[in-house]
Amino acid sequence: MLVYCTCPDTDTAQHIARALVDRQQAACVNIIPGLRSIYRWKGKIHDDSECLLLIKTRESHVQSLTESILSLHPYELPEVIAVPVVAGHAPYLDWVRDNT
């Protein structure tokens, strides 16, 4: 599974990423800074800088990973979107399974 999560800054992104890897809920988390998000929240349009987490995990860990993110994240409604990985480099996918 590939899970997307946006964070308000790199410190928050690093804190969440390290926690997920430390808890073996994720094998790897990429932090992509420089994201710009335009969205509607509570009736207003917002334009904010964010970081994107690309989280590699197993489907069986998505629920606990989501709970961890919700407990660590400063947003009232953090983005947590899981996308199935239908194919990939088999040794890499084995590594993800072995490390989660």
Tens of pLDDT along 10-58?
999 999 999 999 999 999 999 999 999 999 999 999 999 999 999 999 9
The phi and psi torsions of 82 (rounded to 5 degrees) equal -100, 135
| Residue 10 burial by Cβ neighbours in a 10 Å radius (0-12, 13-18, 19+) | middle
Q: What is the pLDDT of residue 94?
A: 96
Round to whole Å and give the CA distance between 9 and 25: 21
Q: Tell me, which fold does domain 2-98 have in CATH? A: Alpha-Beta Plaits (3.30.70)
Round to whole Å and give the CA distance between 66 and 68: 5
Q: What is the pLDDT of residue 56?
A: 98
59-81: pLDDT as tens digits = 999 999 999 999 999 999 999 99
The residues spanned by each domain of the chain are: 2-98
Query: Can you give the pTM of this predicted structure?
Result: 0.95
How far the first Cα of the chain sits from its last, in Å, is: 11
Round to whole Å and give the CA distance between 55 and 30: 7
Q: What is the pLDDT of residue 26?
A: 98
